[in-house]
Structure 1
Amino acid sequence: MTQIEQFTEPAGPGTRVAGVGTVRERMRAFHRRWPPGDGVGVFHEAYLTTVRGSSGHGGGVPRAAAGTLEVRLAERYLAALDAAEAGGRPPECWRPLFPYRRHPGVRPVQFALAGLHAHVAHDLALAVADVCCTRDCEPAALEGEFDRVGDLLASLEERIHDDLMPGPDLLRIADPLTHLVSSWSLERAREAAWSAAGVLRRLRGFSSQAEEFRRQTDAGAGLVVRFLLTPCR
């Protein structure tokens, strides 16, 4: 199995998955590891804070059962972090964040949106495929879980805009950051992820075609991530 395949191969029925407590502690461990201002840490802090805030209302990783879409989505993200921290090769969509993580020309909101796009456009599609394979079901059976994840991601996007987007007194209409942020849509990214998950499910049993589709999905997400990380100053 190649380094890419270890992140893209769907889990089969009976595959052991991490418990909720393990996922939560791993997220906290990464949060404690990075210094303030780290680009990857900017996204991670927003993600972790959103998860903590939603846990008391029935959403987020802390209240989700092992094997649910919420947890499998977090596991995809953590696998990418593990690979990068170990000097390996995370999925292509995640790779640009690591060399750019201390770039002075990339603003915090860019890191956060780039991480959110990689998480939605790549991790979410594969997490849906993971759960479908484990439960031997079609994506339609996961619509409720997908909607709950969508609510969590919408809260994360709102937090990113509220906490990291410069105010109107600092951000001119001609500022390139205005163009970058307004060019990205969470709803479009979620719709694409849902469609990609359906294709992956239909390609089960055709491993080479499924792997090629996963690579293309990863590469497409990576292009958008690079765009979002364009230095703006």
Structure 2
Amino acid sequence: MAQLEHLTTPVDAVLHRMRILDAALPERDGVAVFNRVYLAVTEEVGRRLDAGRFADPRTAAALGARFAGRYLAAVDAVARDRRPPACWRPLFQFRRHPGVRPLQFALAGINAHVGHDLALALVDTCRALGCEPAELEDEFDRVGELLVSLEERVREDLMPGPDLLQVADPLTHLLGSWSLERARDASWAAARALWALRRCEDVAGGFAERLDAAVGFAGRMLLTPLPD
């Protein structure tokens, strides 16, 4: 970590890692597609922190850094030939599949990160700061709003074909079954459940494991190879 000592905040360190990945990964690699999307989100979080747009910048930075850290931990696990969490496995397994479109890669990564990582990051932040999830709801909502607005832009930028043809595109039907807003709401509910179960380690661990598997299953469906 010595090379990161000049960075001033946890968000700066996260951005540094993501920019290294962006420069190193092939453009069409599925992880690279998601990384570009997430880099844009994290840059916007950084700008809003600098502009004082968060009521509690320290808490928002702590949540953002723990959130991003779970994605970067999955990247590091794969780089070391270890299994990442189940929610991330489909993206890493299909990252070079020629039948998977860039929009699918982007949304599969968002699904893994929001559906699983966000809930656990919220619980991690509560433990670190000694607070309840309700005290972080504003920061959770602001990060979620950024993700929802970015999802809309991602769909516009990466959806192939003219508008009149999209209704007949299998991709339209596949992606219509998934919503980031619903995933965010489910993540908030999962975080509250995990927090309530925090003193029952076996039960909480089983719940987190099943959450991971369910989000991974949804990600696999999002990455269904499609005809051109």
**TM-score class normalised by the smaller sequence:** 0.7 to 0.9
Match for residue 213 of structure 2? 219
Shift of 1:159: 2.5
Match for residue 230 of structure 1? 224
In the alignment of these two chains, the number of paired residues is 214
1:77/1:123 contact within 8 Å kept = yes
**Among 111, 117, 126, which residue is 2:120 paired with?**
126
Q: Report the aligned-residue RMSD.
A: 2.1
1:27 is the counterpart of 2:18: yes
Structure 1 stretches lacking a partner, 5+ long: 1-17
Shift of 1:135: 1.8
Shift of 1:53: 4.1
Match for residue 13 of structure 1? none
State the distance in 1 between where 2:178 and 2:156 align: 16
Q: 1:57 to 1:132 in 2, by over 3 A?
A: closer
Shift of 1:206: 1.1
Match for residue 72 of structure 2? 78
State the distance in 1 between where 2:103 and 2:50 align: 24
TM, length-normalised to structure 1: 0.85
Query: What is the aligned-residue identity percentage?
Result: 55
TM, length-normalised to structure 2: 0.87
Higher helix fraction (1 or 2): 2
2:171/2:226 contact within 8 Å kept = yes
Match for residue 3 of structure 2? none
Shift of 1:170: 7.8
Match for residue 205 of structure 1? 199
Structure 2 stretches lacking a partner, 5+ long: 1-8
Shift of 1:51: 2.6
Q: Deviations over 1:179-200 (max 9, x none)?
A: 1111111111011100100111
Shift of 1:158: 2.1
2:66/2:124 contact within 8 Å kept = yes
Shift of 1:19: 2.6
1:75-224 aligned within 5 A:
75-168=69-162, 171-224=165-218
1:50/1:155 contact within 8 Å kept = no
Q: What is the one-letter code of the residue matched to 2:84?
A: P
